[in-house]
Amino acid sequence: MDWGLRNRLARIIKPDTGRTVMLAVDHGYFLGPTTGLEVPRKTIEPLIPYADTLMLTRGVLRTSIDPSFDIPIVLRVSGGNSILKDDLSDEGIITSMEEAIRLNAAGVALSIYVGSPHEHQTLLNLSKLVDEGEKYGIAVLAVTAVGKEMARDARYLGLACRIASELGAHLVKTYYCEGFEKVVESTPVPLVIAGGKKIPERDALELTFKAIQAGAVGVDMGRNIFQSDSPVAMIQAVRKIVHENATVDEAYNLYENIKASS
Ligand code: 5RP
């Protein structure tokens, strides 16, 4: 791995803790104006001071993020479908590597749909992106999206994460599940977890805690932060677990205190 790629990865995964709190705000690429992200700038700006990395599309980056913010960008570069389609796996590459470089991205993110109708196409997309990422020193995050029929268990997620790393992804995003240690063990690159659908704050903090304990290097979390009653409090509570190894109680108390004082 060359210097540029290692440097970009070190901007995403903070070297002092070896962990990261990525803020995922890319949902609109197939969901449109997702609850909480109707006006992206309004939601995202107050959270930037507490995020290590922003994961978003070029459209939201250009229109809604001030270029003077000093935050690494992981650009969502796969898409081409909408929630109106039954099969969400029919994705292509929607943003070129040159554009990612022009936008000063530290990394690019692409979904793979293992076991879905377009599995093959999305795995080739990942392989092509890794070739380009290696060429220009841009980190590639593979997102192990789950098809509607797929179980989110250690066997399935372990399969998807291992395939992503075998194809050369530098970082993999997946879901927490029972037996997550096994998924971590069999994936030879760092893993971050998505939060998934909005759940009560304490439960989302518990999910974060368990994933970190099992060996995840952090989160790439969206809805459980920006749909929280207090997004600014929630992201700080998540940080406390990810970077300070706080317990769920400590993190939840922090959430309650910040929420009460804001
Ligand atoms: C969709 C994504 C989203 O960014 C992802 O699901 C993370 O957000 P959340 O924590 O809301 O699940 O990559 O494929």
Catalytic residue among 42, 85, 148, 173, which?
A: 173
- C-alpha span between 100 and 96 (Å, rounded): 6
- Do 218 and 21 touch, CB atoms closer than 8 A? yes
Residue 117 forms part of a structural domain: yes
> What digits encode the pLDDT tens for the residues 195-225?
999 999 999 999 999 999 999 999 999 999 9
User: What number of residues does the chain have?
Assistant: 262
Ligand 1 atom nearest 29 alpha carbon: 1
Give me ligand 1 centre to Cα 175, in Å. Answer: 10
Q: Could you tell which of 82, 172, 223 is best to mutate to test the pocket of ligand 1, judged by most ligand atoms within 8 Å of the CB?
A: 223
> What digits encode the pLDDT tens for the residues 59-107?
999 999 999 999 999 999 999 999 999 889 999 999 999 999 999 999 9
> What digits encode the pLDDT tens for the residues 15-49?
999 999 999 999 999 999 999 999 999 999 999 99
The residue assigned the tokens 């040159």 is 98
Residue 183 forms part of a structural domain: yes
173 is catalytic: yes
Residue 237 forms part of a structural domain: no
- C-alpha span between 247 and 5 (Å, rounded): 33
Q: Is the pTM of this model over 0.75?
A: yes
**Total number of domains constituting the chain:** 1
Q: Could you tell which of 220, 224, 226 is best to mutate to test the pocket of ligand 1, judged by most ligand atoms within 8 Å of the CB?
A: 220
- Which residue's CA lies nearest to atom 14 of ligand 1? 145
The alpha carbons of the chain give a radius of gyration, in whole angstroms, of 17
Ligand 1 atom nearest 145 alpha carbon: 14
Residue 210 forms part of a structural domain: yes
The CA angle 214-216-218, to the nearest 5 degrees, is 135
Residue 255 forms part of a structural domain: no
What integer pLDDT is reported at residue 86 of this predicted model? 86
Beta-sheet strands, E only, within 5-138:
20-24, 53-56, 73-76, 78-79, 92-93, 107-112
Ligand 1 pocket check for 116: Cβ under 6 Å: no
Residue 139 forms part of a structural domain: yes
Residue 134 belongs to a domain with what CATH number? 3.20.20.70
Give the range of the structural domain holding residue 147, as residue numbers without chain letter. 3-228
Residue 246 forms part of a structural domain: no
> What digits encode the pLDDT tens for the residues 219-249?
999 999 999 999 999 999 999 999 999 999 9
SS3 110: strand
Residue 175 forms part of a structural domain: yes
